Amino acid sequence: MSTIATEKTANYIFRPVLKTRPKKTFPYTLESVDPKKDGKFMIGGYWLSQHHMILDMMANEILEKFERVLNKGDIFKSHYDKKVIEDAEEIDYVLLRYLSNQENYKKDEKGFKDKVDEVYGATLLLNEKSLIKKYTFLNGMTSNDIYKLIKETSETLVKIPYRVKILNGKKNKFSHYTYRMWTAEKLFKVEDTILEQTKHNPPRVKLREYKIEFGGIFGRLFAHNVRALNVIRFPLEIYSLSQDAQFIYRRFISTMVIPKGSDKSGKFQIEFDNIMKYMDIKTEHSTHNRGRITKALDELKQAELIQYKNNRIRRHDYITYEVVRLR
């Protein structure tokens, strides 16, 4: 496996919330980077590159299960595949508008929950031994390391405007509708079973199995987005890069379209101020900030994921980066 399927909307809107001092007060709110495309991001815990790595792994497993069951193991190459469209028909803007309204829950709690249950989520059974063999970024981690990351990711509460991929009235075109959460939600629940442990006292766990359930509204919509092929495939090399490089790639690089040939439309402008806002960089030392972002972009360049150059207007200290996505 050289690439991994990642969920596009989560890549765009999830943002780094780091363990820096002074300690953050939760829930922690970040203002929108682009008010036209995203809103406030409210999170009830830290969100590091390793947590998003776990989320990528879950998305990849959801998609592979979908392909294995409905496409006989073949990779879906188009979201207009009949099986993809049939699976996506259960969610439309009427349902999303209903779920976005807290008053509907207050008026008829049982009816509201029944509506939620009608949306098919995802249940995964994952064995650590198979995961470590399949996902090289888990190499070197103990069972406790993996368990801690999965558990922390599952317990993270978020409240965000989440773009859901839906079919329009013609039933053959996809568009997006924003599900606006009225309460903070978790993406999935996890139950672990110990398969193997040492004979020490107390014993040390060597191997676990996990039952992952994407069962809430947010989790079900996430699973739906993956099956509707609202995904971007990442090269696995991304996980060996620094946290800054990984997050910059997710938000500003991975959503770029890679044109065929050497068409100049492949060049994109990224504003320094937007990277600063997205990364939640509070330091006022401009030289340090420029160096930090340049270092991350250089990592992406050395990994042959991008080409880029700086465009700086010194008088106004305004910087943009002209970037070409290679992979």
265 and 162 part of one domain: no
pTM of the full structure? 0.94
Distance between the two ends of the chain, CA-based, in angstroms?
Answer: 15
Place of tokens 């200290």: 317
Query: Hey, is 225 helix, strand or coil?
Result: helix
Taking only Cα atoms into account, the Rg of the chain, rounded to an integer number of angstroms, comes to: 21
220 and 311 part of one domain: no
| pLDDT at position 256 | 83
Residue 164 near residue 91 (C-beta atoms within 8 A) = yes
Confidence of residue 55 (pLDDT cuts 50, 70, 90): very high
Total count of domains within the chain: 2
Round to whole Å and give the CA distance between 14 and 63: 20
Per residue in 141-174, pLDDT (tens digit) is: 999 999 999 999 999 999 999 999 998 866 678 9
* Domain range enclosing 315: 241-327
209 and 325 part of one domain: no
Residue 120: what residue type?
A: Y
Q: Measured at the alpha carbon of residue 188, what is the angle toward residues 4 and 241, in degrees to the nearest 5?
A: 35
Least confident of 99-108, 238-247, 303-312: 303-312
225 and 296 part of one domain: no
Least confident of 18-22, 115-119, 189-193, 223-227: 18-22
Round to whole Å and give the CA distance between 137 and 82: 34
253 and 195 part of one domain: no
Round to whole Å and give the CA distance between 51 and 56: 9
* Domain end (from 216, 240, 264): 240
Per residue in 285-324, pLDDT (tens digit) is: 788 888 999 999 999 999 999 999 888 766 556 788 989 8
Per residue in 35-54, pLDDT (tens digit) is: 888 888 999 999 999 999 99
Per residue in 190-199, pLDDT (tens digit) is: 999 999 988 8
Average pLDDT over residues 60-79: 91
